[in-house]
Each structure stands twice: as structure tokens, then as C-alpha cells.
């Protein structure tokens, strides 16, 4: 069972802040009133829980504000966004780009900008309570069609340009450059034909997401649309990379996310 870290952080900040406030307005005065000449030193000592709360509250508050409203780190756990993002990439998520949201509940309290087609977004999908990262393909009201591994948005085919066929263990894959909205990015497609045609109409307040590793991505084609209140933020940069296993982190793959 996964730990709801945002909820834990909010509760920890609230509890330590409440203890600190009680210390200022009541507990310290209560101890002062009970002091005697004989037990002066002991009576003025702060209880351990108060001492810890005063020490941890500023740190927890800083992390809460930073993580909830500004930036949050996130590690890429799967290969669904290859070649744009690799397993082991540590990315930085801009939490305010799509509006200021309350932690835990995700309610937007201030509009800043709306998600744009082609941007890479972190969100919570409808079928699983954990962070996912995919590319925004469909905006509210869009008609999306995926046919013969080509993407159509509102009946307009999104341009794909063949780059190369891969070799080695990925020899069944081909590299394409796709233009989606104002964004040019690379995608992987395997070389096998797919005669199916799938179509979706994106409802208001929702988004259609796809991975750049098109044939190895669990995305909106399988589990549906992403609700606006489940948006976490915009992925903006890779700041660290670590290969699985006993490997040291490296900064040589740092880059902005396209």
C-alpha cells in the first residue's frame, strides 16, 4: 500500500504548528504560573513533544509550500515515455504552471494557465492512486483518433517524420519525430501494422494522455481521461539520472523536457 505523502506532510505540518501555537499562547504561560522557587528550572523546561514541534515545524512548512505550490521532484519508473524520458530520470515538476491548487484535495484556487497540447504532464489517473507522466494529446472537447499508429486531432493528422529504424534489442522499433501543437518531440513506434481505428471525444474538464513509447504505454487509450482536478503539474526538466541497481547518480543527462 502506497503512502499518501502529501497528506502526511499536511498533517505533520498542522500538528507541529498547532503545538507551537499552543506553546506560545497557553503552555508556556501555564508552566510559568505553576513554577515554584524550588522547581524553577524544571518547570520552565519544554516537554519533548513541544521541543520537537518547534524544531520541525519551520522545516515542514517550507517543504509543504515548496512541494505543494512551487516544484516537486518525480522519478520516472517505467519506459512509457522513451525516448523523451528514460527509466531512472529524476524530473522537476512545476506545480503552479497550471494554477495554484490545494494540497491533497487538488482543488484549484488560482488560475495561471491551462495545459497545452504537446506538453508533458504529471497527474493521477482514474484507475490508480499514484503519479503518472504522459504527453497531453487531447484537450477538453477534442476529437481524438488513433489509426494505423497515426494520431488525428479534430480530424487533422499530426505530422510524423521517420528518423531511423533502431538496432539491437529495440530492433522492432522505429524512431519518428512528431509535431503536436507547438511541440516537436520524438516517439517510438514498432514496425508492425495495426489496422484498428480507435476514436474518443474528450469531455469537458478532462484530458487525453499518451506516452511517447506508443506501443509500450498504459495511457488514456486503455484507462480513459484525466480529470482536471487530478493534475499535479507540468514536467519541465530532467535534473538527475540514475541507472537501476548499484549505480551512482549522474548529471550528464540534464535537459529541458520538450
CA dihedral in degrees (99, 79, 158, 136; nearest 10)?
-10
Shared domain check, 33 and 80: no
Shared domain check, 233 and 107: yes
Shared domain check, 206 and 88: yes
- The residue among 190, 187, 43, 48 whose CA lies nearest residue 120 is 187
Shared domain check, 103 and 186: yes
Q: Cell digits for 162?
A: 521517420
Shared domain check, 84 and 60: no
Shared domain check, 145 and 48: no
pLDDT score at 38:
47
CATH number of the domain encompassing residue 170: 2.10.109.10
pLDDT tens figures, 118-142: 999 999 999 998 999 999 999 999 9
- The residue among 49, 58, 55 whose CA lies nearest residue 27 is 49
Residue 65's domain spans which residues? 5-69
pLDDT score at 140:
97
pLDDT score at 97:
86
Q: Write out the chain's pLDDT in tens, 258 residues.
A: 344 556 665 676 677 777 767 777 776 677 676 665 445 445 456 677 777 677 777 777 766 666 666 788 888 889 999 999 999 999 989 888 898 877 777 677 778 889 999 999 999 999 998 999 999 999 999 999 999 999 999 999 999 999 999 887 777 899 999 999 888 999 999 988 787 889 999 999 999 999 999 999 999 999 999 999 899 999 999 988 988 777 788 888 889 998
Shared domain check, 115 and 83: yes
Catalytic residue among 53, 68, 80, 220: 80
Matching residue, cell 506508443: 214
Shared domain check, 81 and 58: no
Number of domains in the chain: 2
User: What is the value of pTM for the model shown?
Assistant: 0.77
Instruction: Identify whether the C-beta of residue 78 lies closer than 8 Å to the C-beta of residue 211.
Output: no
Shared domain check, 80 and 65: no
CA angle (15, 73, 2) in 5-degree steps: 60
Instruction: Identify whether the C-beta of residue 219 lies closer than 8 Å to the C-beta of residue 80.
Output: yes
Q: At what angle do helices 5-22 and 48-65 cross, to 10 degrees?
A: 130
43 a catalytic residue: no
List of long-range contacts for 96-102, beta carbons under 8 Å, 24+ apart:
96/69, 96/70, 96/233, 97/233, 97/234, 97/236, 98/231, 98/233, 98/234, 100/69, 101/68, 101/231, 102/68
Shared domain check, 116 and 176: yes
Shared domain check, 160 and 216: yes
pLDDT tens figures, 160-209: 999 999 887 777 899 999 999 888 999 999 988 787 889 999 999 999 99
The three-class DSSP label of residue 207 is strand
84 a catalytic residue: no
Shared domain check, 177 and 222: yes
Amino acid at each position: 500500500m502506497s503512502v499518501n505523502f502529501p497528506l502526511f506532510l499536511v498533517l505533520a505540518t498542522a500538528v507541529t504548528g498547532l503545538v507551537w501555537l499552543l506553546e506560545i499562547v497557553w503552555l508556556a504561560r501555564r508552566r510559568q504560573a505553576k513554577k515554584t522557587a524550588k522547581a524553577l528550572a524544571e518547570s520552565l523546561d519544554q516537554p519533548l513533544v513541544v521541543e520537537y514541534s518547534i524544531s520541525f515545524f519551520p522545516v515542514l512548512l517550507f517543504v509543504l509550500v515548496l512541494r505543494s505550490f512551487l516544484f516537486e521532484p518525480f522519478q520516472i519508473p517505467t519506459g512509457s515515455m522513451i525516448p523523451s524520458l528514460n527509466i531512472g530520470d529524476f524530473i522537476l515538476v512545476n506545480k503552479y504552471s497550471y494554477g495554484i491548487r490545494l494540497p491533497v484535495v487538488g482543488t484549484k484556487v488560482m488560475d495561471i494557465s491551462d495545459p497545452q497540447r504537446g506538453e508533458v504532464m504529471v497527474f493521477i489517473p482514474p484507475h490508480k492512486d499514484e503519479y503518472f507522466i504522459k504527453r497531453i494529446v487531447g484537450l477538453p472537447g477534442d476529437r481524438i483518433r488513433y489509426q494505423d499508429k497515426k494520431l488525428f486531432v479534430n480530424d487533422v493528422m499530426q505530422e510524423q517524420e521517420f528518423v531511423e529504424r533502431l538496432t539491437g534489442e529495440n530492433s522492432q522499433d522505429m524512431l519518428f519525430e512528431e509535431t503536436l501543437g507547438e511541440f516537436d518531440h520524438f516517439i517510438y513506434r514498432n514496425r508492425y501494422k495495426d489496422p484498428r481505428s480507435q476514436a474518443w471525444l474528450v469531455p469537458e474538464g478532462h484530458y487525453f494522455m499518451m506516452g511517447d513509447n506508443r506501443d509500450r504505454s498504459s495511457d488514456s487509450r486503455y484507462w480513459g481521461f484525466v480529470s482536471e482536478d487530478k493534475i499535479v503539474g507540468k514536467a519541465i526538466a530532467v535534473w538527475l539520472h540514475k541507472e537501476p541497481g548499484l549505480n551512482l547518480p549522474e548529471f550528464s543527462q540534464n535537459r529541458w523536457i520538450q
